[in-house]
Amino acid sequence: MKNFHPPKPKLWQGRSSGTGQYLHEKVDFLNLETGVTLPNPGFAILGYACEEGVRRNQGRIGAVEGPVSIIQELAKLPHPRGMNTQLCDAGLITCSNQNLEGTQELLSGKVKQLLDLGSFPLLLGGGHDIAYGHYMGLRSYVDPEESIGIINLDAHFDLRSAAQGPNSGTPFYQIAMQLEEQNQPFHYFCLGIREEANSAELFDAAGKLGVNYVMNSDFHIGNTITLKKDLEEFLEQVDRIYLTIDLDGFSSAYSPGVSAASPFGFSPDIAIWTLEEVIHSGKLMSLDL
């Protein structure tokens, strides 16, 4: 079965202005299978409609519907004032026959393809197993001596062992092990970690791997002075940044439909603040949700 699907313009529907006032009226479509390029690819949205990792991790399924649902809501929004950067839909990756590993490999190749075109990848999941394929695509694009720091807004470390196979809880463990084999440092910063969402074993793993993290109780808009210092220290250590945002990190007041919903998650304001800080660093190369 074909697992890469070119973009579908019919997904982009909304109010018609006739003057390009809404995103669905401005979006372009990039078919990565034809080799056609755009003069200024700008931001490229790539969907990852895969929940096999969530299923393997014994979570609540439904994430497969994420990319299309997000696009359908995004399409209705007004085009931001002063935004001249091109927005492209680059298609959708799906998982067949429970082949998570093959889906991650396909994702990795498409991410590199987008970067080669000069695009900024915006990936929409899907389970958090998106992170392994995404990172591998970034790693294959940058020079070997360049370091990529991972910033993860999440309630979970996602550092479970992959000894029984990868799933949505293993991506950063997989990345750490691969970097260890290559004798390269693992730069990983988690913000929003919840005590009750991670076992003692996972906290031990984070300690052994030198993971930087901020507990959810400290990840709020009233603590930005300390958070800014912590972020700047991390940003100074790396050449590039990959930002990944897991919706289950947010309070269930904002994201009730995730696999591991909790009322004790963080708020959108601190996530937006963090995103702005990372953007201002000039090191952000890719993002997924």
Which residue segments constitute the domains of the chain, with CATH numbers given?
Answer: 1-127 (3.40.800.10), 146-289 (3.40.800.10)
Query: Angle 94-99-103 (CA atoms, 0-180°, nearest 5)?
Result: 45
Q: What is the pLDDT of residue 38?
A: 74
Q: For tokens 């990852």, what's the residue?
A: 48
Asked if pLDDT for residue 284 goes beyond 80, the answer is yes
| C-alpha torsion 155→131→175→182, nearest 10 | -150
pLDDT at residue 239 greater than cutoff 80 = yes
Q: Are 168 and 56 in contact (CB under 8 A)?
A: yes
Task: Dump strand ranges (E) for the chain.
Answer: 4-5, 28-29, 43-49, 87-94, 120-125, 148-153, 188-193, 212-215, 240-245, 284-288
User: What's the confidence (pLDDT) of residue 37?
Assistant: 75
- Please provide the average confidence, as pLDDT, over all residues in the chain: 96
* pLDDT for the residue numbered 40: 78
Residue 102 pLDDT greater than 60, yes or no: yes
User: Does the pLDDT at position 39 exceed 80?
Assistant: no
Q: Which pLDDT does position 208 carry in this prediction?
A: 98
Mean pLDDT of 96-122: 97
DSSP string, 2-67: --EE---GGG------SSS-BHHHH-EE--TTTT---S---EEEEEEE--HHHHHTT----GGGHH
- Residue 250 has what DSSP assignment? B
Q: Is residue 202 predicted with pLDDT exceeding 60? A: yes
The model's confidence at residue 2, banded by pLDDT at 50, 70 and 90, is confident
CA distance 288 to 126: 10
Tokens of 142: 């940058």
Q: What is the mean pLDDT of residues 160-185?
A: 97
Strand 87-94 vs strand 4-5: parallel, antiparallel, or unpaired? antiparallel
Mean pLDDT to the nearest integer, 60-64: 95
- Contact criterion met (CB below 8 Å) for 207 and 158: no
**Nearest Cα to Cα of residue 70 among 261, 217, 196, 247:** 247
21 to 25, 32, 72: CA distances (angstroms): 7, 27, 16
Q: What is the mean pLDDT of the segment spanning 234-256? A: 98
Q: What is the pLDDT of residues 267-276, one digit of tens each?
A: 999 999 999 9
pLDDT at 1: 56
Q: Report the C-alpha gap between 48 and 193 in whole angstroms.
A: 24
Average pLDDT, integer, range 46-69: 97
Q: What is the pLDDT of residue 34?
A: 87
Q: Which pLDDT tens digit goes with each residue over 129-152?
A: 999 999 999 999 999 999 999 999
Task: Tell me what pLDDT residue 174 has.
Answer: 98
Q: Is residue 20 scored above 90 in pLDDT? A: no
Can you tell me the mean pLDDT for 188-197?
A: 98
